[in-house]
């Protein structure tokens, strides 16, 4: 059974395929990305097939690179722009279906209540569109099945949302549009999400009939939901520095230099309004045991991850 990963690049893609290549015969894996020459030569020497394509490729080009792939991991397009993201992802999903892919794993996002089909956060909109499109493709094609992996919020993105430019030297006051109490976020380490994604793919490839997540959503969250007050206390302990939270308006938050540097001032910045509404309503704090069960161990705690980041 041939497994394809598209795009096989970036932190999630790389952590997924490095684990996958330790789980399945390398000559059964096809890595597809914009710059295949960047894939380590040792993998090619072990039999991995490389193909070139990106989300900007045409439908025909995508269909060609997906040809012969039985199981495809489609890693979502990295953009906050809803309609464009939906457009390129559904194009890729359609191309996979036309190419004869039998099972599609899709990397969604856990910025939504567990198993819900609606979400407040605009960043979820394209993910929900793509999940719905996958379900429709499978409904009209009995030879296609799917699994949506709702990847938890990356612990690595904590400094982004906290508007902290340097975790080793954070400001004494963190300004966010929340007082620090209320619902929290269930942060998960990105490389563990990639590892778990790979283990899911390998499990399906070994025995499709026994796979428990066929035509289902699986949510991979961190093991605990951390309020902002708790998360900032973790950072305070890790740095040995007293840090407090100051609640500010969304407009003031979006105008912080760190936020403007990351999100800009356009459509991406405007997604923060709905993101913080979702956080306040608990849509980013759902916790499942799935990540630990798939890894076969307790996922790394947010506290340990932050301590490690500060040491780096």
pLDDT at 312: 84
Whole-angstrom Cα distance, residue 245 to residue 172? 9
Mean of the per-residue pLDDT values of the chain: 97
Dump pLDDT digits (tens) for 144-167: 999 999 999 999 999 999 999 999
Mean pLDDT score, 83-108: 98
Mean pLDDT score, 196-216: 98
Dump pLDDT digits (tens) for 247-306: 999 999 999 999 999 998 778 888 999 999 999 999 999 999 999 999 999 999 999 999
CA 238-177-174 angle, 5° bins? 30
Dump pLDDT digits (tens) for 19-37: 999 999 999 999 999 999 9
Dump pLDDT digits (tens) for 25-80: 999 999 999 999 999 999 999 999 999 999 999 999 999 999 999 999 999 999 88
**Which of 101, 103, 291, 295 shows the shortest CA–CA distance to 204?**
103
Which band of pLDDT confidence, cut at 50, 70 and 90, is reported for residue 15? very high
pLDDT at 267: 81
pLDDT at 40: 94
Strand locations in 13-144, DSSP E?
29-33, 49-52, 71-75, 103-109
Contacts of 242 (CB under 8 A, 6+ apart): 172, 236
Which stretch of DSSP H or E encloses residue 160?
A: helix 158-161
Which band of pLDDT confidence, cut at 50, 70 and 90, is reported for residue 1? very high
What's the whole-model pTM score? 0.96
C-alpha pair distances (Å), 278 with each of 28, 134, 260, 281: 40, 24, 20, 5
Strand locations in the chain, DSSP E?
3-6, 29-33, 49-52, 71-75, 103-109, 145-151, 173-176, 216-220, 244-247
Q: Could you tell me what percent of the chain has a pLDDT over 70?
A: 100
Whole-angstrom Cα distance, residue 3 to residue 161? 35
Mean pLDDT score, 227-251: 97
Mean pLDDT score, 120-135: 97
Q: Could you tell me what percent of the chain has a pLDDT over 90?
A: 96
pLDDT at 247: 98
């Amino acid at each position: 059974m041939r497994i394809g990963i598209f795009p096989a690049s970036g932190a999630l893609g790389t952590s997924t395929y490095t684990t996958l290549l330790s789980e399945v015969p390398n000559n059964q894996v096809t890595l597809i990305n914009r710059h295949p020459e960047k894939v380590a030569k040792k993998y090619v020497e072990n039999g991995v097939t490389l193909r070139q394509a990106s989300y900007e490729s045409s439908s025909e080009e995508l269909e060609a690179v997906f040809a012969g792939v039985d199981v495809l991991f489609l890693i979502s397009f990295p953009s906050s722009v809803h309609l464009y993201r939906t457009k390129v992802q559904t194009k890729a999903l359609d191309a996979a279906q036309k190419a004869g892919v039998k099972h599609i794993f899709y990397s969604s996002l856990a910025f939504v209540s567990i198993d819900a089909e609606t979400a407040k956060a605009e960043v979820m909109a394209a993910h929900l569109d793509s999940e719905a499109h996958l379900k429709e493709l499978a409904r009209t094609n009995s030879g296609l099945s799917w699994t949506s992996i709702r990847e938890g919020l990356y612990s690595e993105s904590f400094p982004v949302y906290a508007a902290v430019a340097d975790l080793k030297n954070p400001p004494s006051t963190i300004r966010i549009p929340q007082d620090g109490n209320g619902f929290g976020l269930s942060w998960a380490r990105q490389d563990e999400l990639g590892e778990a994604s790979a283990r899911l793919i390998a499990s399906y490839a070994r025995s499709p009939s026994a796979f428990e997540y066929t035509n289902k959503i699986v949510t991979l969250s961190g093991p605990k939901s951390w309020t902002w007050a708790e998360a900032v206390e973790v950072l305070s302990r890790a740095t040995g520095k007293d840090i407090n939270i100051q609640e500010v308006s969304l407009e003031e938050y979006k105008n912080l230099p760190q936020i403007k540097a990351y999100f800009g001032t356009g459509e991406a910045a405007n997604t923060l309004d709905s993101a913080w509404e979702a956080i306040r309503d608990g849509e980013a704090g759902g916790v499942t045991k799935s990540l630990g069960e798939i890894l076969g161990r307790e996922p790394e705690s947010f506290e340990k991850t932050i301590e490690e980041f500060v040491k780096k």
